[in-house]
Structure 1
Amino acid sequence: MQKAVYNKNELRTYVQEMLSGKVKTLEFYLNFTLEASRDIKKTSKYDSIREEIQSEIYHLDRQMAALKSMQREMQRVLNKGTVAAGVGSLVITNKARFYISVSVGEFFFEGDRFYAISEKSPMAQIMKGKKAGDEFTLNNIHQRIEEVL
């Protein structure tokens, strides 16, 4: 089986573009919801609808703040090669591929499944400082690190 070669710069750009896409989608929903709130008539008959819309706006604002925070965190993620797992590392185990950056979760890049995880996640914490050949167990799942890029 031939080893896949990944370009971390392209991977980083891909994750940044994913975040930007999520921000744009959320901006669309937020603007749509704000517009809808302006269209609701100011009578007591519509109070519950206005409350629901305000609640939705609040939740969308919180999601937007989280996405903007992730975008800022991605600025700290460098593309330099690493020997030991840490922020910016692409860690390939016998079970999965982990990009230690921001908590985006599962995504597909160049036809392969990846997991973008936060440096604060339990998985990143247990892998921190480990090198190719090291092993670890998390949630009763044993993994061996095959490569750290």
Structure 2
Amino acid sequence: MNKQELLDIIKTKITTKIQNFENLIAETRASSNDTKSSMGDKYETGREMLQQEINNLQRQLNESLSQLAVIQKISAEPSDKVQTGALVKTDKGLFYITVSVGEIISDNQKIMTVSAESPLVKAMSGKKSAEGFVINNIHQKIVDIW
């Protein structure tokens, strides 16, 4: 498994999300400036709804920027135990402990990206290859760690 390639895929996904949020914020601000009405309260309500939408998009943008900052600190060096930056294969799946951006596919394998704060990672944190752990009453065994 090429962890650097996986990190690059994740960085690309996050960067694309950031660009999309920035574009949406700019478009929403532009439409906010275009909103003109002589209806008084209706005008103010519309502007407030647009401002709430901008705030929501800004929050999501900040979250994505935080994810990018985390991913830039993660090393592609091999790991011998479950920790941030480890690629872990269990008998139930393949997990990359970075930031949660969903499923990525590399070398025709599905890899779930999971945050170090997730219950799954907390259950297997610090474990080594061939060790087991239980989450939601399901026993899993660590097959390999990269």
Taking structure 1 as the reference length, the TM-score comes to 0.91
Percent identity of paired positions between Structure 1 and Structure 2: 34
Q: 2:130 aligns with which of 117, 128, 133?
A: 133
Q: In the comparison of the two structures, how many residue pairs are matched?
A: 144
Q: 1:118 aligns with which of 109, 115, 122?
A: 115
Taking structure 2 as the reference length, the TM-score comes to 0.92
| Superposition map of 1:12-31 within 5 A | 12-31=7-26
DSSP-derived class of the 1:12 partner = helix
Q: Tell me, in whole angstroms, the C-alpha distance in 2 between the residues paired with 1:54 and 1:21.
A: 23
Report deviation, 1:42: 5.2
DSSP-derived class of the 1:130 partner = coil
Q: Which runs of 5+ in 1 are unaligned?
A: 1-5
Q: Tell me, in whole angstroms, the C-alpha distance in 1 between the residues paired with 2:31 and 2:141.
A: 52
Q: 1:36 aligns with which of 24, 31, 34?
A: 31
Q: 1:8 aligns with which of 3, 16, 20?
A: 3
- Which residue is 1:95 aligned to? 92
- Name whichever of 65-74 and 115-124 sits farther off: 115-124
| Superposition map of 1:74-93 within 5 A | 74-93=71-90
- Name whichever of 70-79 and 35-44 sits farther off: 35-44
Q: Tell me, in whole angstroms, the C-alpha distance in 1 between the residues paired with 2:61 and 2:74.
A: 20
Superimposed CA distance per residue, residues 52-71 of structure 1 (whole angstroms, 9 cap, x where no aligned partner): 11110000000011000111
Q: Tell me, in whole angstroms, the C-alpha distance in 1 between the residues paired with 2:23 and 2:95.
A: 30
DSSP-derived class of the 1:98 partner = strand
Report deviation, 1:110: 3.2
1:148 matched to 2:145: yes
